[in-house]
């Protein structure tokens, strides 16, 4: 049964921490993560060896999954802190979970962890403590108090004050 098969999906921080180089496990990641971590000759050789040996499986999530994750990140307010690579990692995890696999993302990125919690996908931090609550980020004006749905706004359209970002605790 697929649900009993555990899949670990690595983001870039997992590679920088040496996770795939110190274990014999099989990991999943995306092409953009590989591109980010293959910047030295030594890491390129090591990465190519792990991929060739089948210890790292590189997959690109579908455009449909990426759009779903991008929309969810917009609603949660995490979109401003997530790179395209981060979105791809979450989308890959979402797809694997949707196919019935027991998925865990290995990452120290709080926004990745927040979306993983929202999607009920496990996440394991590497160096940090990780998150314990789901949050929604709000953009608001300190001058007049207006809260903006458009998270990309930087100046209040009512009073002209520079906008700030704060979180709203959703679930503990």
Bridge partners (DSSP) of residue 44 are none
CA distances from 99 to 3, 7, 92, 95, 110 (A): 8, 12, 11, 6, 25
pLDDT for position 135: 62
Domain ranges of the chain: 2-124, 134-171
Digitized pLDDT (tens) for each residue of the chain, 172 residues in all: 455 699 999 999 888 888 888 777 899 999 999 998 887 666 788 889 999 999 999 999 999 999 999 999 988 888 888 999 999 999 999 999 999 999 999 998 888 998 999 899 999 988 766 566 766 777 778 888 888 777 777 888 988 889 887 766 676 5
Residue bearing tokens 């030295």: 40
Please state which CATH number belongs to domain 2-124.
3.40.50.1010
């Amino acid at each position: 049964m697929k649900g009993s098969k555990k899949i670990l999906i690595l983001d870039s921080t997992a590679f920088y921490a040496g996770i795939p180089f110190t274990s014999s496990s099989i990991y999943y990641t995306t092409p953009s993560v590989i591109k980010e971590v293959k910047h030295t000759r030594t890491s390129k050789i090591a990465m190519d060896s792990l991929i060739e040996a089948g210890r790292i499986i590189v997959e690109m999530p579908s455009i449909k999954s990426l759009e779903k994750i991008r929309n969810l990140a917009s609603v949660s307010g995490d979109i401003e802190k997530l790179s395209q690579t981060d979105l791809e990692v979450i989308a890959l995890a979402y797809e694997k979970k949707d196919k019935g696999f027991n998925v865990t993302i290995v990452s120290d990125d709080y926004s990745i962890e927040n979306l993983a919690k929202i999607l009920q996908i496990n996440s394991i931090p590497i160096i940090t403590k990780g998150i314990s609550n789901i949050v929604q980020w709000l953009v608001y004006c300190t001058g007049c108090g207006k809260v903006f749905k458009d998270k990309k706004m930087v100046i209040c359209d009512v009073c002209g004050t520079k906008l700030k970002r704060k979180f709203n605790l959703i679930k503990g």
